[in-house]
Structure 1
């Protein structure tokens, strides 16, 4: 292993270095160790001279990464615990797998092949490692791809996975995730995660990190305000709707600086008024001939993402449309009203709604024949190849409950109208 760094400044962008210093616990730890702002900060070394991150540093990196890229999808304490059981938080550890003939790199033990696959196929392009794979040794880069892989594991093989499955698969491989031999991995993980939680409670991060990132050029910074993520044309369309004007005016919003709502964990989300309005604008502007109803789109957003801008768990964005599906709709099906060049593009509520509606329309004619409303919804939420009463039937009931939230109570509804 030829890569090595002596200082944090050698493997961090200046902006990320500022974020680390801005964290009170990190700055206290560094100052207590004799480090000083304006000077290079030494990486910690174990007795054998190997560089590693302290738990305080590791959690700061995990929290910033999750807030920036995976808000409402991943738990930073999960990422911190995975780094602990994967590598002991060591920066430059390499592990060669004789069976796969691949080498796992860094704290999160990410292979070059997996990182490149995540970028090319799943749209994780915030960091470009194609020309310089040694960037994988950088803490924020390594954690970014490790977290992206963990997120993918939550829905691998088109199945909703548990946290235990993800942890055991991450460390021991998917084939061993349900084998008794990997059970100690999860027990070790739970012990480490509890230790991290006792060291620092989530509230301290929730209060600090959004404020730090609000003025940065990061994805999370862009998600503080609608105007930073949505085009002027789409914002003008939102401002033209009476219900939106009433809601935004009441909350003190003004043109050019409309804030997303945030829950107690500081996760950005859309109100139901905003969701339905985005659906109405998207359909009227781009998909009026497809017959998709705004109420159905809004209800799917409710089920898929709980209206969170990032999405929930493995589901990406407001409509839960993943990057490969959106890219396919854009490339092969001619749906090009919005560009989708990376997974970050799907955090635009309008883009996510657009591709979600396009996918819904495509499912209505799946395999060349007209499909029922039940099939369309179950296929959207569980995959068209997995539709069954046992596996995806509950999705239909959840959808019907969500649909009631968006239907006009003054009108009679004799059934469900999707298309």
Structure 2
């Protein structure tokens, strides 16, 4: 049995403990349980006496690992749901796999051989491949494997493919034997305190289904508050577009693309951006046209986004949570990544992030700095992706607002 599983401090590095104490929900939970900063933190025990992570602790570890090492491109809820069904959040969970003649270990039930392969061949080397019973170590390698699966054979893979492949390997992701695992995963995810509301699928699919197909929202009213819907109907261009399409108050349908993915039209997007800016950011100098353009090139105006299910603005959930918890942007409630698929919520947190970038380090920043930083953060303003993202922004901006001649050709980053 690995030593030191009575206290968190015995299986977590000091910097990770500091990060856990800095997490708002964890700090609140630990203090309520009688723990104190500077003293060792007791690990919770189940009725059998085995150590386990609370759901709050599990969520925090997932968010910290994803934020540090995976550019916030994995969903913490996915990590939490897999840990729930693999180990019941027990770091000492140990399961022998007869076919592999090897045991899986820890919260994410990672094989030692898989962890070693990820380190040596895939360069996921932030942690050593041993000591998988340590929470941060096991979550890191579980997330690394999911990241690898997300682009298996150079194709962008769906959530269903990733989860089913995590269970039995990518070559068996569409096997009927993994369908039960997928359904258990959806159930676990649905039951997370801040998890998504996803239905359990009962019929097998011959090919991986797009991630958005598990959510069959049809109407605006399912994703928008009554107040925001009333405001949308007061927008002349929106009212004209909706009325022409035969929509009526109380049951307005989302537009759908050829893959049946819901999206917002440019008219709708302009209205959302204008409403959010006029309500919450009138003194920040934020342009609705900038927000619309960022949404267009980031998500193609798809309700669930492109790269991850974080909505129109594709603001990483961990970034939105930071804006909500630490910077006080609480005009819209944020309980899970799913909330960011609501058009007004996504636009609000996207605008909040733009506002923060515009005054980064107490300096007035150029549009180019804001746009290029929006892609991966201000520390990645000069990354390989940032330049093309800026050019794409310039190409799309005229769709929402003609660019003044004085700004054309500008390339100064401040």
Deviations 1:243-262 (A, max 9, x none): xxxx99x934569x89899x
Query: Paired residue for 1:37?
Result: 37
Structure-1 separation of matches of 2:364 and 2:110: 38
Structure-1 separation of matches of 2:165 and 2:119: 20
Change (3 A) 1:402 1:25: closer
Residue among 165, 169, 175 paired with 2:171:
175
Structure-1 separation of matches of 2:360 and 2:29: 39
Residue among 297, 304, 308 paired with 2:375:
308
Structure-2 separation of matches of 1:258 and 1:3: 52
* Equivalent runs, 1:218-297 vs 2, <5 Å: 251-252=358-359, 271-272=370-371, 274=372
Change (3 A) 1:349 1:180: same
Partner secondary structure for residue 165 of structure 1: helix
Query: Paired residue for 2:108?
Result: 108
Query: Paired residue for 1:158?
Result: 154
Deviations 1:42-94 (A, max 9, x none): 11111222111111110111111112222341111111111111111110112
Change (3 A) 1:253 1:151: closer
Query: Paired residue for 1:335?
Result: none
Query: Paired residue for 2:141?
Result: 145
Partner secondary structure for residue 187 of structure 1: helix
Change (3 A) 1:190 1:174: same
Change (3 A) 1:16 1:178: same
Query: Paired residue for 2:28?
Result: 28
Deviation at residue 178 of structure 1 after TM alignment: 0.7
Q: Which portions of structure 1, spanning 4 or more consecutive aligned residues, are displaced by more than 3 angstroms?
A: 1-4, 197-214, 250-255, 257-261, 269-272, 347-354, 400-410
Deviation at residue 404 of structure 1 after TM alignment: 4.2
Change (3 A) 1:76 1:254: closer
Partner secondary structure for residue 103 of structure 1: strand
Deviations 1:374-402 (A, max 9, x none): xxxxxxxxxxxxxxxxxxxxxxxxxx988
Contact 1:108–1:146, Cα closer than 8 Å, also in 2? yes
Query: Paired residue for 2:92?
Result: 92
Change (3 A) 1:208 1:252: closer
Contact 1:22–1:212, Cα closer than 8 Å, also in 2? no
Structure-2 separation of matches of 1:151 and 1:138: 20
Contact 2:72–2:318, Cα closer than 8 Å, also in 1? no
Structure-1 separation of matches of 2:88 and 2:360: 46
Bigger relative contact order (CA 8 A; separation at least 6):
1
Contact 1:86–1:108, Cα closer than 8 Å, also in 2? yes
Partner secondary structure for residue 89 of structure 2: coil
Could you tell me which runs of 5 or more consecutive residues in structure 2 were left unpaired when the two chains were aligned: 198-309, 311-315, 328-353, 406-414
Query: Paired residue for 2:274?
Result: none
Structure-1 separation of matches of 2:57 and 2:366: 29
Q: How many residues align?
A: 256
Using the size of structure 1 for normalisation, the TM-score is 0.51
Deviation at residue 118 of structure 1 after TM alignment: 1.6
**Going by fraction, where is helix more abundant, 1 or 2?**
1
Partner secondary structure for residue 376 of structure 2: coil
Using the size of structure 2 for normalisation, the TM-score is 0.52
* Equivalent runs, 1:394-413 vs 2, <5 Å: 404-405=395-396
Change (3 A) 1:194 1:260: farther
Deviations 1:331-358 (A, max 9, x none): xxxxxxxxxxxxxxxx85656469x99x
Query: Paired residue for 2:56?
Result: 56
Structure-1 separation of matches of 2:80 and 2:195: 12
Query: Paired residue for 1:185?
Result: 181
Query: Paired residue for 2:307?
Result: none
Change (3 A) 1:60 1:353: closer
Partner secondary structure for residue 121 of structure 2: helix
* Equivalent runs, 1:377-388 vs 2, <5 Å: none
Deviations 1:166-187 (A, max 9, x none): 1111123323321122112111
Deviation at residue 16 of structure 1 after TM alignment: 1.8
Structure-1 separation of matches of 2:397 and 2:195: 43
C-alpha RMSD over aligned residues: 4.3
Contact 2:358–2:365, Cα closer than 8 Å, also in 1? no
